[in-house]
């Protein structure tokens, strides 16, 4: 009988889900994604000045989770898990929202810590990479938090979860209808740098052999940098500086001028770019950063697979 697993990531900008099929490769069980779902919810945009998530954001989330539940119904799932990240960590009405989201999804939702989010991101990206003893730096810029991890093989050596997000930064520094100015961009970069710098020494002391960026911000930057000819491979500081100058010249994100950029990423490009520029500066990243696949959802699937087989073995 085929073993299907499902994972859901309720992020601050997008909700994502994956259905994975457990297969044996090289005598080892491995989860292969058979369906991936992603919808932009912009949950963090619904967090008002009093720390409450507004009704509009909640309803957007419920609609997406209902669609995920319907997609899951096509599979005989052996195990499933859903986690929520920074916006529900912050929301004062998180318990009420969580209950409504669980009803829409028809499964429990766990609000995880930033540290647990970082661990799952590392596990997820690593699960999609060849086995290696290289030391790896991973950066995941989400909608309202950024996770930084250095690890080697299966061991995490250092991690941090910081209150920096492409959606929250766009709202704060580049609100809709306002031009992208040099002053706003520098303020955003400085704010991100001041948040990353106090923890940067831990990662720089360890060092790394290769660097990966995961989730929408990194993938969006790779697409626009390569599509616009700003770099030939991955994310580089020089390429991002050129992109920054393009945004400042145009005063806005103009899709027709940025081949490779998707419409939903255009809305948060400036915020994500400012955080990534600050990360490169604070961490002294010199080589190119490549896109890491999997991230949080793949980490959840790997966790589910391990738990499923541990349970099966104990019942033998």
pLDDT at residue 282 greater than cutoff 70: yes
pLDDT at residue 294 greater than cutoff 80: no
The mean per-residue pLDDT over the stretch 96-119 comes to 98
The residues near 115 (Cβ < 8 Å, ≥ 6 apart) are: 159, 161
In angstroms, the CA 43 to CA 147 distance is: 18
Q: What is the pLDDT of residue 176?
A: 85
pLDDT tens per residue, range 56-67:
999 999 999 999
pLDDT at residue 308 greater than cutoff 80: no
Q: What is the pLDDT of residue 311?
A: 61
**Between these two residues, 312 and 143, which has the higher pLDDT value?**
143
pTM equals 0.92
Secondary structure of the chain in the HEC alphabet?
CCCEEEEEEECCCEEEEEEEEEEEECCEEEEEEEEEEEEECCHHHHECCCCCECHHHHHHHHHHHHHHHHHHCCCCEEEEEEEECHHHHHCCCHHHHHHHHHHHHCCCEEECCHHHHHHHHHHHHHHCCCCCCCEEEEEEECCCCEEEEEEECCEEEEEEEECCCHHHHHHHHCCCCCCCCHHHHHHHHHHHHHHHHHHHHHHHHHCCCEEEEEHHHHHHHHHHHHHCCCCCCCECHHHHHHHHHHHHHHCCCCHHHCCCCCHHHHCCHHHHHHHHHHHHHHHCCCCCEEECCCHHHHHHHHHHHHHHHHHHHHCC
The residues near 85 (Cβ < 8 Å, ≥ 6 apart) are: 9, 10, 11, 12, 111, 112, 114, 117, 142, 144, 145, 296
pLDDT at residue 86 greater than cutoff 70: yes
The residues near 253 (Cβ < 8 Å, ≥ 6 apart) are: 180, 247, 261, 266, 267, 269, 270
Q: What is the pLDDT of residue 300?
A: 94
pLDDT at residue 313 greater than cutoff 60: no
Q: Work out the number of other CB atoms within 10 angstroms of the CB of residue 253.
A: 22
The mean per-residue pLDDT over the stretch 116-140 comes to 94
Window from 80-89, 118-127, 131-140, 301-310 with minimum mean pLDDT: 301-310
Token pair listed for 144: 């309202």
Token pair listed for 182: 């040099």
Window from 41-55, 120-134, 276-290 with minimum mean pLDDT: 120-134
CATH superfamily label, 4-114 = ATPase, nucleotide binding domain (3.30.420.40)
In angstroms, the CA 169 to CA 51 distance is: 17
The residues near 111 (Cβ < 8 Å, ≥ 6 apart) are: 83, 84, 85, 88, 89, 94, 98
In angstroms, the CA 235 to CA 226 distance is: 9
Token pair listed for 316: 């033998």
pLDDT tens per residue, range 141-174:
999 999 999 999 989 999 999 999 999 999 999 9
Q: Measure Cα distances from 21 to 1, 8, 31, 126, 127 in Å.
A: 11, 15, 5, 18, 14
In angstroms, the CA 147 to CA 65 distance is: 24
Window from 1-15, 239-253, 294-308 with minimum mean pLDDT: 294-308
CATH entry 3.30.420.150 includes domain 129-291 = yes
pLDDT at residue 316 greater than cutoff 50: no
**Between these two residues, 188 and 129, which has the higher pLDDT value?**
188
Tell me the pLDDT of the chain averaged across its residues.
93
pLDDT at residue 312 greater than cutoff 60: no
The mean per-residue pLDDT over the stretch 182-189 comes to 98
Token pair listed for 150: 């250095």
The mean per-residue pLDDT over the stretch 186-208 comes to 98
pLDDT tens per residue, range 23-39:
876 666 788 889 999 99
| Topology alike, domains 4-114 and 129-291 | yes
The mean per-residue pLDDT over the stretch 175-196 comes to 96
The mean per-residue pLDDT over the stretch 284-302 comes to 91
Q: What is the pLDDT of residue 260?
A: 87
The mean per-residue pLDDT over the stretch 184-204 comes to 98
Q: What is the pLDDT of residue 26?
A: 66
Binning pLDDT at 50, 70 and 90, where does residue 118 land? very high
Q: Where are the domains of the chain?
A: 4-114, 129-291
Nearest Cα neighbor of 239 from 267, 199, 280 is 280
Q: What is the pLDDT of residue 119?
A: 96
Asked if 26 contacts 62 with a C-beta cutoff of 8 angstroms, the reply is: no
């Amino acid at each position: 009988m085929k073993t299907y697993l499902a994972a859901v990531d309720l992020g601050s900008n997008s909700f994502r889900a994956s259905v994975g099929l457990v297969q044996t490769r090289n005598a080892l069980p491995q989860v292969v994604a058979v369906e991936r779902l992603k919808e932009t919810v912009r949950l963090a945009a619904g967090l008002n000045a009093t720390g409450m998530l507004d009704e509009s954001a909640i309803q957007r989330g419920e609609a997406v989770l209902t669609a995920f539940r319907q997609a899951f119904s096509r599979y005989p799932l052996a195990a499933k898990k859903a986690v929520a990240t920074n916006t529900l960590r912050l929301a004062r009405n998180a318990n009420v929202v969580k209950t409504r989201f669980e009803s829409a999804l028809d499964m429990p939702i766990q609000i995880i810590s930033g540290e647990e989010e970082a661990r799952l991101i590392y596990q997820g990206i690593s699960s999609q990479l060849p086995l290696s003893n290289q030391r790896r730096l991973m950066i995941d810029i989400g909608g309202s938090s950024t996770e930084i991890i250095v690890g080697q093989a299966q061991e995490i050596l250092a991690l941090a979860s910081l209150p920096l997000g492409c959606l929250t930064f766009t709202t704060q520094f580049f609100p809709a209808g306002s031009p992208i100015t040099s002053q706003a961009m520098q303020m955003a970069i400085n704010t991100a740098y001041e948040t990353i710098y106090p923890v940067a020494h831990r990662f720089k002391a360890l060092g790394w052999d290769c660097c990966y960026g995961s989730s929408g911000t990194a993938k969006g930057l790779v697409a626009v940098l390569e599509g616009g000819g700003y770099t030939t491979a991955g994310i580089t500081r020089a390429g991002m500086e050129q992109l920054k100058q393009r945004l400042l010249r145009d005063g806005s994100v103009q899709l027709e001028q940025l081949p490779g950029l998707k419409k939903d990423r255009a809305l948060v490009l400036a915020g994500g770019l400012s955080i990534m520029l600050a990360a490169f500066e604070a961490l002294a990243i010199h080589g190119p950063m490549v896109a890491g696949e999997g991230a949080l959802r793949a980490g959840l699937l790997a966790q589910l697979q391990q738990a499923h087989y541990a349970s099966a073995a104990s019942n033998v």
